[in-house]
């Protein structure tokens, strides 16, 4: 059994990223898409922390990870508010039906 190294973290983070991306692309529900975004953010967080731990960057990685967490919270709040408004206007949160951007 080998010791857990940087690569493992990276693998986990890529899996998380892929899952998040998959969620964003495939889910119809807007809330689920948001959740996908959270996954991606967190995968990035893992990467930051991992590099901070194994790289020679001091605390920078951890600091940015903290920022990202805060940002993610804020983003979630705003995004949910948007989703609520979408629902109010279109009576749906299915992203396939909301293609106003095309026009």
Partner 1 sequence: MNGSNLITLSLFILFAPLVGFWFTLILGKKVEKSYLIEIVISTLVLLTTIYVTFTKLFYFPDTKFVSEFTWINLGEMPLLGKVTVELGMMIDNITALMLFVVALISSLVHYYSIEYMKGDKRYNRYFAFLGIFTFSMMGIVLTHNILMMYIFWELVGLSSYLLIGFWFEKDSASDASKKAFLVNRIGDLGMFAGILLIFVNYHTFTFDKIFMAIGNGVLPFNSEFWLTIVGILLFCGAIGKSAQFPLHVWLPDAMEGPTPVSALIHAATMVAAGVYLVARIFPMMTGDALLFVAVIGALSAFIPATIALTQTDIKKVLAYSTISQLGYMIMALGVGSFAFGFFHLVTHAFFKAGLFLGAGSVIHAMHHEQDIMKMGGLRKKLPVTYYTFLIFCLAISGVPLTSGFLTKDGILAGTFAFGLLTGNSIFAITGFFVAMLTAFYMFRILILTFHGKPQDEHKYEHAHESPFLMIAPLVLLAILSIFIFYTANPFNADSGWVLSNWIKTPASVVPEHARYSFMVPEKMQEAAVKTTEHITHSEVYTEALHHAHIPAVLLSLVLAGLGILLAFAFYQWKKIDVDALTLKVKPLYTFSLNKWYFDEFYHKTFVSGLLGISNILAWFDNYVVDGIVNGAASVTRMLSRFSGVFDNYVVDGAVNLTATFSGLIGLAFRKLQTGKVQAYVVLVVFSLVLLLLFFVKI
User: Rule CB under 8 A: which residues touch partner 1?
Assistant: 21, 24-26, 33, 95-96, 98-103
CB burial of 26-59 (b: ≥16 within 10 Å; e: otherwise) equals ebeebeebbebbbbbbbbbbbbbbbbbeeeeeee
Q: Provide, rounded to whole angstroms, the least separation between the CB of residue 1 and partner 1.
A: 29
The distance of closest approach from Cβ of residue 24 to partner 1 in the complex, given in angstroms and rounded to an integer, is: 6
Minimum CB distance to partner 1 smaller for 68 or for 98? 98
When the beta carbons of 2 and 100 are compared against partner 1, the nearer one is 100
How many angstroms separate the first and last alpha carbons of the chain?
Answer: 57
Nearer to partner 1, 22 or 59 (CB): 22
Nearer to partner 1, 23 or 52 (CB): 23
State the CB neighbour count (10 A cutoff) for residue 16: 20
């Amino acid at each position: 059994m080998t010791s857990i190294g940087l690569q493992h973290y990276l693998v986990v983070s890529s899996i998380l990223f892929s899952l998040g991306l998959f969620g964003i692309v495939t889910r119809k529900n807007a809330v689920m898409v948001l959740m996908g975004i959270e996954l991606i953010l967190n995968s990035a967080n893992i990467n930051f922390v991992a590099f901070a731990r194994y790289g020679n960057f001091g605390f920078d990685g951890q600091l940015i990870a903290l920022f990202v967490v805060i940002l993610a919270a804020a983003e979630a709040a705003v995004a949910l508010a948007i989703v609520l408004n979408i629902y109010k206007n279109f009576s749906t949160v299915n992203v396939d039906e909301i293609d106003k951007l095309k026009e």
